Structure formats: C-alpha cells, structure tokens
C-alpha cells in the first residue's frame, strides 16, 4: 500500500507499527510528492507480512495459513500509523483513507472484501 506522511516524518513509525502487531514490514520509496489536497508529502510503499503462525494471519478457505496479514492486523497497523500521524493518507487495494477520522469512519466498510469467502482468520472478533 502507499502511505503519504508529512514532510520530514520518520518512516521508522511504519516498522514500529509492524512490531506492535507482530508483522514484518518492508518499506520502499520515500519520494516527495505534491498532492492536490494535502500539499507536499513524502510517499512510501509498504508491505506487511505475518511473523507468527496464527496472530493476525490470513487463512485460505481450506484453513491453510497464508503468508498474509489479515484484515484485523492491517487495521491495527494502520491505527498505529494514524496515532503518530493523524493526517497520513493510506491507499490500500480496498480503499483510500484520508486521515485518522476518515479511516475510523470508513474502514469497517472494507471487512466484506477484506474477509471474503476465500480468506479468513482466527481472530476473536
């Protein structure tokens, strides 16, 4: 996913947010972009992968573990980023979130696609 942070922001937050949920984070990019609504930003391309066999891990329809963080894990990772940078813009395959409030208001809507028939997880909620 693509993450726009304020100029001068420390991309270390992306890794620390990953540690918080037990995921490995790969970050690329870090180029300056001029956005229409938020002005000059620094854009990162990030991927997260699960480190633990069950915690926040997606499973296929047959129950097999996938090398993917589930919807809940993505949510907690993005929440940790928004805690540090409430005005971050995060673009995922499912949606674009323009700031912490927009994220909290709309992220739940992606649960159907995020936990579709072919993928599930063992989280309690």
Q: Which of 41, 72, 74, 107 is close enough to bind Zn ion by CB under 5 A?
A: 72
Task: Give the closest residue to 17 by CA, choosing from 65, 70, 75, 60.
Answer: 75
Instruction: Supply the minimum distance, in Å, between the C-beta of residue 97 and Zn ion.
Output: 18
Using CB under 5 A as the binding rule, whether residue 123 contacts Zn ion is answered as: yes
Q: How many residues bind Zn ion (CB under 5 A)?
A: 4
Minimum distance from residue 106 beta carbon to Zn ion (Å): 18
Q: At a CB cut-off of 8 Å and minimum separation 6, what does 102 contact?
A: none
14 or 121: CB nearest Zn ion: 121
Q: How far is the CB of 120 from Zn ion (least distance, A)?
A: 8
In the bound state with Zn ion, the residue whose beta carbon lies nearer, of 76 and 87, is: 76
* CB-based burial, 9-38: b 16+ in 10 Å, e otherwise: bebebbbebbeebbbebebeeeeeeeeeee
Nearest to 72 by CA among 110, 19, 33: 110
Q: Which stretch binds Zn ion (CB under 5 A): 4-12, 27-35, 63-71, 91-99?
A: 63-71
């Amino acid at each position: 996913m693509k993450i726009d942070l304020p100029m001068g922001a420390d991309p270390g937050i992306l890794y620390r947010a990953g540690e918080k949920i037990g995921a490995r984070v790969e970050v690329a990019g870090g180029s300056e972009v001029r956005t229409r609504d938020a002005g000059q930003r620094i854009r990162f391309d990030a991927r997260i992968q699960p480190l633990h066999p069950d915690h926040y891990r997606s499973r296929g329809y047959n129950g097999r573990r996938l090398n993917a963080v589930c919807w809940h894990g993505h949510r907690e990772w993005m929440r940790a980023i928004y805690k540090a940078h409430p005005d971050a813009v995060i673009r995922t395959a499912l949606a674009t979130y323009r700031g912490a409030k927009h994220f909290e208001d709309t992220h739940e809507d992606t649960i159907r696609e995020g936990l579709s028939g072919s993928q599930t997880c063992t989280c309690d909620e």
